[in-house]
Amino acid sequence: MGRRYYENCGEKLDNYCSKQAQLEEDGGGFYPNRGHTIMLTFNIIPTKTSKKMSIHIKDSEDLKTRLSEAGEKLVVIDFMATWCGPCKMIGPKLEEMAAEMADSIVVLKVDVDECEDIAAEYDVNSMPTFVFLKQGKKVEEFSGANAEKLRVTILKHK
């Protein structure tokens, strides 16, 4: 990226950290406030994925379509609720796994309050519940916000 910005000390431009410094070379060294300006350049490296990799399911027809589009990939259905604390806790970890393994898994999120019929079809009684499907057939299921178990199960079936 290597964008360059001038900035007065303490102010930020476009959330990038750059500084304008007044320096002067004097006898082989640089000293502040003597009339020369140097510009510092920072490369900004994103640390988080801004694009969500999971797909929010709207209804049972949407689920059927997404399952057929998945083909050979492992499908992870995350049955969750917006008010569920453990769901909020494991959600970002699942997004990281989805981004990391995007070539071999598909993550579908089903809000149990919006899609009660789908939750009933999969007999979901607690959240989060993860259902793992391969070519439309259930290969495993578990409930709880256990990130390590989630990762191990995905790796086992992908």
Q: Please list the active-site residues.
A: 84, 87
Yes or no: say if 143 and 129 are a contact pair by the CB < 8 Å rule: yes
- Rg over CA atoms, the chain: 24
Q: How far apart are CA 87 and CA 145, in angstroms?
A: 7
DSSP states along 74-102: EEEEEEE-TT-HHHHHHHHHHHHHHHHTT
Is residue 55 classed as helix, strand or coil in its secondary structure? Answer: strand
